[in-house]
Structure 1
Amino acid sequence: MGFKAAKIWKRTWVGSCLMALMVGFLSLAFDSERGLVVWVVSLLFAGACVFEWSRMQELAAPGHGVILALALVAASAPAAAYFGGYELPGCWAFDADWAPLLSLFLALAVTLVLGLASRRARLSLLVFAALWICVPLPAVWSIWDGFGPKGLSALLILSKIGDILGYYFGSAMGKSHPFPNISPNKTTAGCVASLVGGTLAGGACVAGGLLPGGTSVLGILLGFLAGALVNIAAQAGDLLESRVKRAAKIKDSGSWFGPSGGALDLVDSLLFSVPAALCTWPWIFA
C-alpha cells in the first residue's frame, strides 16, 4: 500500500469512528428534553478550540486564552439561564430566539473590556477569536432550540458531508489548487464536489423530514438552497482555519483526533455554518 493510500485509509478509519461518535451524540440530542447535552458538548468543543487557538498565539499574545475563556463563559450565559429556569424581570426578559445575539453582545463586551484593560493584549486578535469561536459553537444549541434535533442533525450532515466529498474527490481527481497560499491541499475538484454534494444533501434532508418543507418541488428546491448556503459557509470556515494555521506555521491545530487533527480542525466548518444556518434557515423555511 502506497503512502497516499495508507493516509486515506487511516483517515477513513478515524473518520468512521468520529462518525459513530456523532451518531451517539445525536441520539442523546434526540433524548435531551431541553438540549442540555447539545449545550454541554458544544461548550466542551469551544473550550478545546479556545485552548488550541491560544496555544497557537502563545508567543505573540500571552494571556489571550484566559480572556477568551471568560468571553466563552459570557457567551454561554443566556443558555445557562434557560437551563437554570432563571427569568429576567420585565423589559429585560428575552426569548430563546434572541440567545445568539445576546451571546454575541456579552462575549464582545467581556473581550473588549478585558482586552482594553490588559496592556499586553492584542485587541484585534481577541475580537476575531471571540467572534470566530466563542459565539458560534455555543449557538449550536440555538439550532437545536429552533429546528429541533432533526434540524441539528441536518446541520451536522450538511456541514461535514462537504468535507468528506471534498477530501475523497480531491484525492482522486484533484489537480488544480485554487487557494495555494491558504490551503495548498484543497483542490478545485474537491471544492466543486463539496458544493454539489452539500446542495443535494440539503434537498435530501428536506425530503427525509430533517428540515421543514415537505416533499413538494418547492420544498426540495429550498432544501437545495439551504444546503448550498451551509456548504459555502462550511468551506469558508475551513479556509479561514487553514489561514490561521498557516500564519501560526502549523499543520494541525492539535493531535487529539489523529489524522483528523485537533478540535478546531474538526469543527472549523461549523464556525461559519452555524451562523449561516441561524441567519438564513428561518427565512428559507418560513
Structure 2
Amino acid sequence: MAITTKGFSAVCSVRLILAIYQVHKVPKAEREVRLNKILATLNLTDYQDRLPGQLSGGQKQRVALGRGMAKKSNIFLLDEPLSNIDVQLREKARDEIQSMHDESHQTIVYVTHDQLEAMSLGDRIAIMNDGIIQMIDTPDEIYNHPVNLFVAEFVGVPQINTLLGEYTDGKVKFAGHSLISDSDRLRHINPTQSNLFIGIRPENINVSERAINDSAIPAVVTKTVDYGRYQELMMLVDGGKLVKVTTNNNRFDIDDSVFLSLVADKILLFDCDTKQNIEYKKAN
C-alpha cells in the first residue's frame, strides 16, 4: 500500500492519527505514547483536538505526514511532505522520517525539489529533468561523479563552478593555466575536441595570497559572505569569469588579490556539445 501526503490532508483531523493504531490493534497505552511522540515531532500537540477547518495548510500537511509515520506500510509515497512546514521544523521532521525508515525498513519513495532533503534522506536518488531521469545513484556518486552537467549543477550549495576550458598539448587548461596533465584521465577526451567545460565545486578551490604553483590562477575578491564557520567568496578571474569559493580562512576582504588552486582530482570534465561527464564511465 502506498501512502501519499496529498489526498489525506483535506479530510483528517489530528486525532484521526490514533485511528490507525486502533485499526492495527496496538495496545492503548502504546498508542498514546506513539501518538504523543508524533505530535511532538511535528509540533502538533496543541492542535490535536482541532477539526480540519481549524488547521492551516501547513498543519494539515503535517497531519498527513503524521499519518504516514503512524502507518507502518511496506511502501510509502511522500510527495513533498515538508514543503509547507516551517524551516525550524523541517530538520526535526526529516530526522523522524529517517528514524522511521531505520526502524521499520520500509521502502520510501520521496518526491522533493529540495536537494538537501534528497541528499540527506536518500539511499539512492533519481534526478529528473523535463520528465526524463538523468541519473539514479547514491548521494556520493551523484555529488562527486555526476553523469552530466545538469546533475552537477542541480546538486550542491553553493552551485558548482563551470568554466570554459581548452584541451591543448595533451593538457586541460583554463586561462592559460594547466590544470590536468594526467594522460590516463585525458584519454577519454576526443583528440579533435579543443574546448570543454571544467566543473569545480566551491569547497575544492584553495585560496592563497601567493601562487603556490604554476597552475595557480590570479583572482580578485569581489564579494564576501561570512557565515561564521566559513566564508563564501566571489572571485573575478581572467576573462571576466566569476568563481565562487568557500573557505574556512575568514581573512579575505573585497578587492584582495589572491590566487586560486583547483584540486585536480576533484575537477570534472564535460563535453561542450552533449554536456556529458567525459569521465563518467571511468568513475563507475
Q: Comparing both structures, which one devotes a greater share of its residues to helix?
A: 1
The structure having more radius of gyration, on CA atoms, is 2
Instruction: Return the structure number with greater relative CO, CA threshold 8 A, min gap 6.
Output: 1
Q: Bin the TM-score by the shorter chain.
A: under 0.3
Q: Please give the TM-score of this superposition, normalised by the length of structure 1.
A: 0.27
State the TM-score, normalized to the length of structure 2: 0.28
